[in-house]
Amino acid sequence: MSISSALAVSLVNVSCIFGTGMQAVHAVRGVSLDIKPGEFFTLLGPSGSGKTTCLRMIGGFTLPTSGVIVIDGDDVSQLPPHLRPVNTVFQDYALFPHMTVVQNVAFALRVRGVNARTQKKRAMELLDTMQLAHTAERKPAELSGGQRQRVALARALIGEPKVLLLDEPLGALDLKLREQMQYELKSLQRKLGITFIFVTHDQHEALSMSDRVGVFNHGRLEQVADPQSIYEMPKTIFVANFIGAANVLSGDVAKNLFDLPCAMLRPERIVLSASGTGRLQGKVQETQYFGTHWRVSCISQGTTLVADIAVASGQNCPKPGDEVGLDWSAQAVHPLAENAVPAQSFCSI
């Protein structure tokens, strides 16, 4: 089956069910998704949301129960991994410990029967791109976590796949190295122009790296959009709470404050001032220091609202027990669909 190759990957009403009868688990439920060539697309969601199963179906490691998966114009729904124009980088990297770095990278060409000289030449070119040429004769155990990650990338890229799948490849790295690798991975993707499909549960990782993000929840795609739209204009309560901190209010509270049945207000959009000013009067319950900002929890009229104060603003952080005023602009309030609201107001931090 051949379909237009204007898209790198297309999922059409794809579902995946594990088990049967009462034991059946609906891991992915009717997902339809189009990913453009050269796009850095992230599948984001909590554990068990279906994002990894979706990636595994694109890679051929798990077959869909129903629906169609198209890669580069061809229906690959029932094809095994080695017959799909994709490659995968796993979280544990799966490098061969007995091989040198250059041998690891060249392995796919070796399997294809490419001559040894061409294998090494192509592998060294990729290692040079990854700034790892000096490690060519080392074993994986002699490398840092970031270096092993780049070797795994080089090995996945040497076969020139149409699509590169990345299954939480930064999850095992410490915070500073993970942030560095986020920048390097995005820069590499732009340089190579290959479609990247990236799986993570880390919202900051998704927002900082992606051209677009698909947010998964209970096997379904809740929203697909660019990072700014996902953050500023979430479509559902789940997305509003999962992406960043959010004050989500509903019922009488939302009606009184915003004249809406349900709405979201981000903490950084609330301005704290001296008592007696602002839209609301509140009392500080707790403060948290995050380096770049203070997070201040206030209670007003029985409702808890969380506000952020940027450290760079020079504004003093109030103390627990202080009376404060809370204010915000009308544009800061984002309406949400009034469905499945578990409480009148709550904040995801």
pLDDT recorded at residue 179: 82
Phi, psi of 34 (to 5 degrees): -115, 130
Between strands 212-217 and 40-44, the pairing is: parallel
Q: Are 210 and 227 contacting, i.e. CB atoms less than 8 angstroms apart?
A: yes
3-state secondary structure of 3: coil
Mean pLDDT of 4-9: 79
Q: What distance in Å separates the CA atoms of residue 52 and residue 166, rounded to the nearest whole number? A: 10
Cα 268 off chain centre by:
22
Confidence bin at 345 (pLDDT 50/70/90) = very low
H-helix or E-strand spanning residue 328: none
Mean pLDDT of 270-286: 91
Nearest Cα to 157, choosing from 83, 60, 210, 87? 87
> What domains does the chain contain, in order, with CATH numbers?
9-237 (3.40.50.300), 245-348 (2.40.50.100)
Q: Are 126 and 106 contacting, i.e. CB atoms less than 8 angstroms apart?
A: no
| Token pair recorded at residue 309 | 């104060």
Whether the predicted pLDDT of 217 surpasses 90: yes
Q: Tell me what the pLDDT averaged over the chain comes to.
A: 89
Whether the predicted pLDDT of 3 surpasses 50: no
Nearest Cα to 284, choosing from 292, 293, 273? 273
H-helix or E-strand spanning residue 285: strand 280-289
pLDDT recorded at residue 340: 45
Q: How many CA atoms lie within 13 A of 275 on its CB side?
A: 10
pLDDT recorded at residue 266: 96
pLDDT tens sequence across 99-150: 999 999 999 888 888 898 999 999 998 898 888 899 999 999 999 877 888 8
Per-residue burial over 108-124, b if 16 or more Cβ lie within 10 Å, else e, is: bbeeeeeeeeebbebbb
